[in-house]
Amino acid sequence: RVFLVGGSLLAFTLFRKPLISKLLKLNDTSVHCIYWGNAGNEKHPLEHSNLHWVNLEGDNLNSNPLSDLKAIRALVKLIRANKPTKVMSFNAKPILYTSLLCKIFSTKCKTLALMEGLGKGLNFLSDLEKKTFDIATRHILFNLDLMTF
């Protein structure tokens, strides 16, 4: 059971199709592609019996954690129900929330965080929010297990 968690469906469409295809070729691998929200087209780039698309219906660009409660609750339900063995998250929000929730609710889950770019995607955050993100993710990013497939 592998979770790929990203900010939007567009990221899966543009950058994750080869990874998803490779994971699906492994025997008995169930892949959940979970995205924080989507503005626009809901057309999934791949279809497969072991591939599950989940829109958390959150706002990937909003920096207010209270606005994410519905999406966080949905992510907790997915983690509890599916007990993922490996999780790869990319983009700031999915990295932060998914890593924390996997540590809390799934002790056997290996996590990998992929922060793309040079961090300019966090420019919309205030200085206090940037500092909070830095403190919250410092422990997570330096204590992640390596993900092997």
Query: pTM for the full model?
Result: 0.75
Residue type, 121: G
List pLDDT tens digits, range 51-91.
999 999 888 777 777 888 999 999 999 999 999 999 999 88
Burial track 89-109 (b if 16+ CB lie within 10 A, e otherwise):
bbbbbbbbbbbbbbeebbeeb
List pLDDT tens digits, range 44-59.
888 888 999 999 988 8
Query: Which tokens belong to 137?
Result: 């993710």
Question: What is the pLDDT at residue 123?
Answer: 62
* CA atoms of 29 and 32, how far apart (whole Å): 10
Asked if the model's pLDDT at residue 148 lies above 50, the reply is no
Query: Which tokens belong to 36?
Result: 């924080």
